[in-house]
Amino acid sequence: MRHKPSLLRANPILFSPLYLNAENISTEKLLALYRSADFFSPQLVSGLVKTILDMEKHGERLSVDCSPEERRKLIREMKGMSMDIQYTLRDKAETMMEISIHIVPSEVLERAQQGKIDVTQYQKLNDDLDKLIVKLIVKEVRRRFTSKVMGYFQSFLRSSQVPPFITQLLDMGWFNLKGQLLKEASIDDLLTGKYSEQFEHLMPKELLQEGMQIRETIKTCFAIGQDNADSLIQDAKKRHALLEIIIRETKTQ
Amino acid sequence: MKGIKRLIYVPILHAREDSGRASSILQGNEINNAKRGEINKELSSVDEMWKGIAAKIGELNLPYKETRIYQDGLPACSNELEIVTRLAESGNPNFLLILDLMKKRAKLEGTENMDLLMQEYDLLNKLLMKNSDKNRMETIAEYQTKSRELLTLRDEFIFNRIKSTLQKGELPIVFMGVMHRLDKMLEKDFLVSYVIYRLPFRSIETIYNS
């Protein structure tokens, strides 16, 4: 059973455990998954954050209207109560993504007494959740591909004639005798880098195609979802060029 | 749903050549052959995205005479039409679409505060000048903090601008960069409908990573 931390016990971004079922994410569904999180449900993350913060806001009002004794009584009475919010994204009957939030109202009320969350914190919480979704997609997708590559490595190791390329990677400490990829292994090196030729020769075409799609997904997720320095500079240049024209046009009138 | 005003929100990606193409034409810059292929690839993705958005807007059967357009980066000044025309002439697909909507009798509204846009321009100038510095990450972090603050101010201005300029019975259509949080502010007063065109995955990658 997955652990569901309470809103109060954990770091704010941890109160929303996200679960991605890698087995049910095929590469052709990756874009759908990312876009649905980002665009199809544009209010999902902020909606969830808002629900939680609204509870605290109401808790605050409740606290202000109560005497300290009544407040303590209310918190005592609420002990043991909890609320679960579940967001599930399915592909037919298979669950692709799940966000579970477990809230303990008495703890929310206690937290509300400590002070109001400001807009900056709200914004940060929102951004953190966005980034968390991107990171989890990347992590799960990478894990899925890695496990497939491992499967092939294992089958090579079991064969009577181990291909020299595999022996070389084994000697370099890229993977162990169980076929498990080690820390030094770089998927990029295998797919597009210095070992791509040998990798392409040994691995089935479908795996390579899947690997490339995954690599592109990861790049895109990072480019869109993360504060990547290069893409930020690219965006800045685009915006700068546009504003330059607008300012020039405004001045010439 | 009686009493709730509808608003069409178009989240836009500022692809490099949205402005770069316009800029290079206006400044007389020439694109070298080595870059041409890469740019053409990106241009076709950008054009495809804007064609998709235009088609989606077309499907909405908007009451154009009662539609008021609000555009990211368009200052509230006396010459909004000239700016849009100039950018459309330079091939910017975003502004070409706006011009097309205006031909169908939609009204254009100056959307942004010029002072805030100037502040943004200054901020970008500093970032791009210091980009090669040793303290690149520090410069970027400082830019991000300041630009986020500025974005909030811009969103507040735009939000008030929409509310104060929208006439009774009019339908607002808002073209805004994906980084803005304006839609969250608008949700309080409007029923926000999103117009999103989903590009094939490879095309998105082209726009972002080329």
pLDDT digits (tens, 9 = 90+) for B88-110: 998 889 999 999 999 999 999 99
DSSP B167: P
Same domain, A162 and A126: no
The partner residue sitting opposite B77, judged by closest CB among A227, A237, A250, is: A250
From A42's Cα to the closest Cα of chain B, the distance in A is 9
Q: With contacts defined as CB-CB under 8 Å, which chain B residues touch A246?
A: 73-75, 83, 87, 117
The partner residue sitting opposite B83, judged by closest CB among A46, A217, A246, is: A246
Our count of domains for chain A comes to: 2
The partner residue sitting opposite B83, judged by closest CB among A39, A237, A249, is: A249
Residue of chain B whose alpha carbon sits nearest to that of A225? B179
Same domain, A181 and A129: no
pLDDT tens, residue by residue, A180-197: 777 666 666 677 666 777
Average pLDDT over chain B reads 79
| Domain presence at residue A159 | yes
Q: With contacts defined as CB-CB under 8 Å, which chain A residues touch B209?
A: 219-220, 223, 231
| Tokens encoding A64 | 């202000």
Domain that holds residue A102: 12-133
Q: Which residue among A133, A165, A192 closes a domain?
A: A133
| Domain presence at residue A23 | yes
Mark yes or no for CB contact B136/A242 under 8 Å. Answer: no
From A101's Cα to the closest Cα of chain B, the distance in A is 22
Same domain, A151 and A90: no
Same domain, A156 and A208: yes
Same domain, A127 and A168: no
Q: With contacts defined as CB-CB under 8 Å, which chain A residues touch B19?
A: 238-239, 241-242, 245
Q: Which residue among A80, A102, A133 closes a domain?
A: A133
> A42 vs B141, which has greater pLDDT?
B141
B-interface mutation test, from A49, A121, A210, A249, most B Cβ less than 10 A away: A249
Same domain, A58 and A97: yes
3-state SS of chain A: helix, strand, coil percent to 5? 65, 10, 25
Helix (H, G, I), strand (E, B) or coil at B108: strand
Q: Which residue among A81, A107, A133 closes a domain?
A: A133
Same domain, A81 and A115: yes
Q: Which of A84, A66, A88 is CA-nearest to residue A75?
A: A66
Same domain, A158 and A237: yes
Q: Which of B164, B161, B166, B158 is CA-nearest to residue B182?
A: B158
Same domain, A156 and A61: no
| Domain presence at residue A184 | yes
> A84 vs A227, which has greater pLDDT?
A84
Mark yes or no for CB contact B183/A233 under 8 Å. Answer: no
Least confidently predicted of A27-31, A77-81, A160-164, B4-8: A27-31
Rounded Cα gap, residues B70 and B110, in angstroms: 7
- Report yes or no: A44 and A37 within 8 Å, Cβ to Cβ: yes
The partner residue sitting opposite A253, judged by closest CB among B79, B121, B208, is: B79
Rounded Cα gap, residues A211 and A25, in angstroms: 14
| Domain presence at residue A127 | yes
Average pLDDT over chain A reads 65
Same domain, A105 and A175: no
| Domain presence at residue A2 | no
What Cα–Cα distance (Å) separates residue B177 from each residue in A11, A23, A168, B11, B43?
31, 34, 49, 6, 18
Rounded Cα gap, residues B57 and A18, in angstroms: 34
Same domain, A223 and A123: no
Size of the A and B interface in Cβ pairs below 8 Å: 124
pLDDT tens, residue by residue, B141-166: 788 889 888 999 999 999 999 999 99
Same domain, A174 and A112: no
Mark yes or no for CB contact B205/A216 under 8 Å. Answer: yes
ipTM of the complex: 0.80
Helix (H, G, I), strand (E, B) or coil at B9: strand
| Domain presence at residue A5 | no
